[in-house]
Structure 1
């Protein structure tokens, strides 16, 4: 390349810049993946690490896969939040305010419920169940007598009452990976939530509009099966954080039978719904073949190689 400098010609040899290579950073594995649960084969070729399908009326186990594994459950936690809110008998028409205290400092997720938003407890519960609104769930916990610490204590107390001996809760939203449970425990929670008509209604509502600081916000269900209309779903909840993978629990009527389905640590955004459809198709076209009865008091405590131990190891290494 020739350039002019003070009227004189200078030849400048351009050097090619060295290529910049972006460092490849593998995505953080879910706990189930780290435990090797995704390598478990099953007859339906599900993409969920954990699956449990039970007849709700007879408690017969129709299908199971790693049902005793204790894993993070993400926003499935909000079903327990709803149970505690309903047990509290606090006024559902009381207006609560979203504040900076409801900011997600765990995963730094966004929310359309801006600080200063005022909604009733009823509307916040609906948004938490239908749209998995984290700030709504946080506000519900904060406005419990004694605040969020007392609310979390009530969550764990409720879990013990339901016989959920593999479960532990630390927040009302499910953003922390320390909210853990097993599929067997989650069936108990789904059955308890199903007995409450308000939780059934809110978790299966397809859409809702609320007023957020003078502007109308439209919310829809996080469950595409609810929105699709091809299922008869009585209760549902979705969940996702990286440590938990994609999660889904449902009560549904399939082929004349009331069933509870649990899918944890599914790989891919749509695979949990595909797994549910695969189970539905199997139930509709296969004869009943329960694997075993549901234990009245399951002893599913994990040993040293448990999910709890792997999670502690991950957290200590910053994984």
Structure 2
């Protein structure tokens, strides 16, 4: 299923009451509808819980299901955790992202913070770090609470952070997998339509009666990633809403090549030699078609104290977009520059090797001559 065509000049009409499309790398908002108004996230909450799981729990940890976690309202019919059931960090993550397991999310919260309330404090602290404007979290799974709310814009920021966590991104992009606990092995499958579109690399659904149907999907095409959020919609229209929004957003963007891999950015004089430094990879920046480029490149050198060899790291080019850092690209030396004593030492080793070789040849010659005389 491909994204339908849309007019570059006509914003789409969407059914969801709150919606947004954000370019993932720059944070550029390309479409929005009441994206700053309060809404209930339902299971979209679990994306934030997954981020905290990835940050605060070691990879080989085991999460144990408490009685209270096992009593959470079920989000599916075929995988409900039992009291005392244990699963790995990886399997807890996939249970939350693939089948939206409410009990797994509560088990994670209790494992990290000891209680739902203390975990909520961590969620709200993280939301401040991410710059969320109008969010307050109470539960790790999104089961309805009037004090548990967010906005479509804030959800986009949470997902933008999730893209920096490869494990979370992979789980959000998984349609089906196996989960192993200390009691059983279960095959789980995401029942949503998220994975029907080949351009979607990650997604998450959410539903409660109070929240309605919520959906977030991450599209990637031509090197540009789009985060699309549709909230307080319905199960029929939410996917079409996002398709139309992303089609509209695509028409506004282009991928601009700023520098190519191998381009020489500058040089450093090292032990009297001018050494050029080149980019280890190309620099591409998603850019709105209707605005002037807003990027800045800042060179950050690493001062060598012992010389450099070809291919050695010598600095970075920091890429800024509208004053915010997007990435850092390594600069690699294109020639050798070694201290004089190093060159002298190498020459000494070479000369020493030659002398040893000549001595060995001479010794061998006299031994042969002595043998012939005898």
Counterpart of 2:244 in structure 1 is 278
Q: Is the 8 A contact 2:11 2:248 kept in 1?
A: no
Q: Which of 172, 178, 184 is the aligned partner of 1:203?
A: 172
Query: Aligned partners of 1:60, 1:94: CA distance in 2, in Å?
Result: 37
Counterpart of 1:133 in structure 2 is 101
| Cα distance change of structure 1 residues 256 and 114 upon mapping to structure 2, 3 Å threshold | closer
TM-score (structure 1 length as normaliser): 0.70
| Cα distance change of structure 1 residues 45 and 151 upon mapping to structure 2, 3 Å threshold | same
| Cα distance change of structure 1 residues 295 and 80 upon mapping to structure 2, 3 Å threshold | farther
Where do 1:137-152 residues align within 5 Å? 137-152=105-120
Where do 1:116-195 residues align within 5 Å? 116-177=84-145, 178-195=147-164
Q: Is the 8 A contact 1:114 1:212 kept in 2?
A: no
* Post-superposition offset of 1:151: 1.3
Where do 1:304-315 residues align within 5 Å? none
Structure 2 gaps, min length 5: 1-9, 254-287, 295-320, 324-374
Counterpart of 1:39 in structure 2 is none
Query: Aligned partners of 2:252, 2:182: CA distance in 1, in Å?
Result: 54
Where do 1:1-319 residues align within 5 Å? 43-88=11-56, 90-104=57-71, 112-115=79-82, 116-177=84-145, 178-211=147-180, 214-226=183-195, 228-233=196-201, 235-254=202-221, 256-267=223-234, 269-283=235-249, 286=251, 288=253
TM-score (structure 2 length as normaliser): 0.60
* Post-superposition offset of 1:55: 2.0
Deviations 1:67-94 (A, max 9, x none): 1111110011111111212221x22322
| Cα distance change of structure 1 residues 147 and 160 upon mapping to structure 2, 3 Å threshold | same
Deviations 1:189-224 (A, max 9, x none): 111111111110111111112245754322112441
Q: Is the 8 A contact 1:113 1:212 kept in 2?
A: no
Q: Is the 8 A contact 2:20 2:152 kept in 1?
A: yes
| Cα distance change of structure 1 residues 102 and 60 upon mapping to structure 2, 3 Å threshold | same
Q: How many residues align?
A: 249
Q: Is the 8 A contact 2:17 2:231 kept in 1?
A: yes
| Cα distance change of structure 1 residues 270 and 290 upon mapping to structure 2, 3 Å threshold | farther
| Cα distance change of structure 1 residues 97 and 129 upon mapping to structure 2, 3 Å threshold | same
Query: Aligned partners of 1:236, 1:120: CA distance in 2, in Å?
Result: 22
| Cα distance change of structure 1 residues 191 and 109 upon mapping to structure 2, 3 Å threshold | closer
SS of the aligned residue for 1:264 comes to: strand
The structure having more radius of gyration, on CA atoms, is: 2
Let me know the Cα RMSD of the aligned residues: 2.8
Q: Is the 8 A contact 2:21 2:229 kept in 1?
A: yes
Query: Aligned partners of 2:210, 2:322: CA distance in 1, in Å?
Result: 28
